[in-house]
Amino acid sequence: MGCLDDLTITNLVGNALPEPQRVAALAHLDDCRTCSELVAAMAVGTPGPAAEPARLAPGTAVGRYVVERVAGAGAMGVVYAARDPSLDRTVALKLMAASDGERAQDRMLREAKAMAQLSHRNVVSIFDVGTFGDDVFLAMEFLPGRTLRQWLAERPRRPREIVAVLADAGRGLAAAHAAGIVHRDIKPDNVLITDDGRVCVTDFGLARASDAEATEPAAAPDTPVDALTATGHILGTPVYMAPEQLAGGGASVRSDQFSFCVVAYECFAGERPFTGRSLGELRESIARGPAPIPRVPAWIQRVILRGLAHEPEHRFPTLTALLDALARDPAIRYRRLAIAGGAVAVAAGVMLAIPRADRDTCPDPRDRLAGTWDAGRRTQLERAFAAHPYPFTASVLAPVIAGLDRYADRWVTLRVDACRATYERRDQTEARYDVELACFERRRGELAAVVDVLTNAPDEPTVRNALAVVQGLPDLLPCRDGKTLGEQTPLPAHPTARAQVDAAYRSLATAKTLAKTAKYQGALTLVAELLPVARRSDYAPLLAETLYLQGKLQMVTRDAATAKRALDEAATLAATAKDDALAARVWIQQTYTAGAIALDASEAAALARVARTAVQRAGDQDVLVLDWHNAVGAVLAVQGNYKDALPHFRDALAIAE
């Protein structure tokens, strides 16, 4: 179907289109970005239920964000490219009119809460939510690109291209499921493909917790499909819905899987698997089952058709299981067998002697770093630095990349060693291994935060301090041999709570990186936003680290009293969490704050003794001993006692060298 004509659009905007034509036009807008943007543009200033938020001029302040330009528009509102001056980054600002009342606001806030729980490369990140006059706004990750529908329309796509995009989108959706979130509106328009090839799931406006009450309003079988969403009978897009959703049974991770497979079928076939003008006809079409997809490899077809099973229990148990099946390309397996075939006779005796665990139990985990630090991210970093050619850029870039490579390699090596210690050497329990994996995942998040900040339009201080930022990445060895690692507070068991803690740690890592690039105000702003989240999490290690960073940052701004309160609470929480290394860092910072900022020599001396004991308790790690000597030396130097300060600086230098 072509675009709507001018008269239809004018009458639609003016709320003068007869009901049947209005329903059909609204349905068309769901699939046509051109028409939806035109309707949004014409709706400016138009009264009545079709009204959009008033278009904002460049320079308009929405919260702390400054509008730069319109980036897009649709039935749910206008999206602007805006600048976040606190964090020096461009965000996508989604503004939606509250003309639909509290229901519209609730939907948008639901989107914010759902997306804020997720921290994954294949999910669009949400940074902030608030109100602007009578409208609601979301500040999200700015991702230049196009929808999956537009990507497919650009040119014919090979099956493996489509599989790669679907796999990335599936990983984002699986991450939502792991966080306890059901999307409920998976369709090609809610999958974005960025200009640099990243695939993201977005528009969680209909999402809800998977354990929440999820029944839908009932609709009569003869209700036109196009009218279901427009009239509010069904929240979502009916032609992509699972049969249990259409029957009013609500959504689940398996109904999301069904929707995902409708999208997959459409990607390969060029049309949806089920049709029907009314709700009853659509449900009958689903009950009959989909037709085979022509000219699609059998292994792909089997996966998609199983995901489209009428009964939820006949689908894959999880979306992750579906993605595993989608990754089992038999052609690749056959090629590997063919390559290996010539060596089978020679190596048969050797292969039989190798325990199965050596081959399967502990595979290379480098794919876990995909999107964190890989060839694509390296290229992005090189391009970002090349766009800011300061005199020292070239001399900084090479050691920065080398440092990131070393960190990634060490992460892989130690993680494999942890696996082998558990399942091959039997040196440790699976419970200990789980704690180590959580530690490695946190370090991966900190690596991702560093790469994100370095590649996000780096300014002069960022480039100048880039090597120090990379060298300041936390040591990985404590994830393997930390003496008290197993005694520390375990991560929350519930998937939603755990995902929230993981996302908070990622934000905390970003704040740390901003601080290391001298963006102290941006880091303080992020910490201020994170503190309430950390308190609600009821997870002492997270709150302790957040307060510790707040104390350090407030010390930079010379607010000694506030810094001391934050550090006092952090010390108590670190002790509660049995995190000796963090406790030592807190007491070292307390020493510096008391002596170099508050200028209280006697308190600084007492705190220095407490800090030294804490460093010993943490195993006299080199980095902690170095920091202790630096802090004590700085306090003595501020007091003018250079003679006693010098030995501390010499000891610190020796460790650093």
Task: Please identify every residue annotated as catalytic.
Answer: 185
Residue 406 C-beta-side C-alpha neighbours within 13 Å: 12
User: Does residue 246 contact residue 238 with C-beta atoms inside 8 Å?
Assistant: yes
What CA dihedral angle connects 365, 162, 382 and 466, to 10 degrees? -50
The full 3-state SS of 18-73, as one line of letters, equals: CHHHHHHHHHHHHHCHHHHHHHHHHCCCCCCCCCCCCCCCCCCEECCEEEEEEEEE
- Cα 269 to its chain centre, rounded Å, is 31
Q: Which residues contact 68 (CB under 8 A, 6 or more apart)?
A: 58, 80, 81, 82, 83, 90
Q: Which residues contact 215 (CB under 8 A, 6 or more apart)?
A: 248, 249, 250
- Cα 59 to its chain centre, rounded Å, is 29
The amino acid occupying position 471 is Q
Backbone angles phi, psi at 191, to 5 degrees: -120, 120
User: Does residue 464 contact residue 77 with C-beta atoms inside 8 Å?
Assistant: no
Q: In whole angstroms, what is the distance from residue 73 CA to residue 45 CA?
A: 15
Short-list 90, 140, 125, CA closest to 503: 125
- What distances in angstroms separate CA 447 from CA 90, 374, 436, one per listed residue? 21, 12, 17
Backbone angles phi, psi at 42, to 5 degrees: -75, -20
The amino acid occupying position 30 is D
User: Does residue 415 contact residue 477 with C-beta atoms inside 8 Å?
Assistant: no
Maximum CA pair distance of the chain? 91
- What distances in angstroms separate CA 411 from CA 436, 478, 569, 579, one per listed residue? 12, 12, 32, 21
Residue 628 C-beta-side C-alpha neighbours within 13 Å: 24
Helix axes 540-556, 495-516, angle to 10 degrees: 20
Q: In whole angstroms, what is the distance from residue 200 CA to residue 11 CA?
A: 35
Buried b (16+ CB within 10 A) or exposed e, 527-565: beebbebbeebebbbbbbbbbbbbbbbbbeeebbeebbe
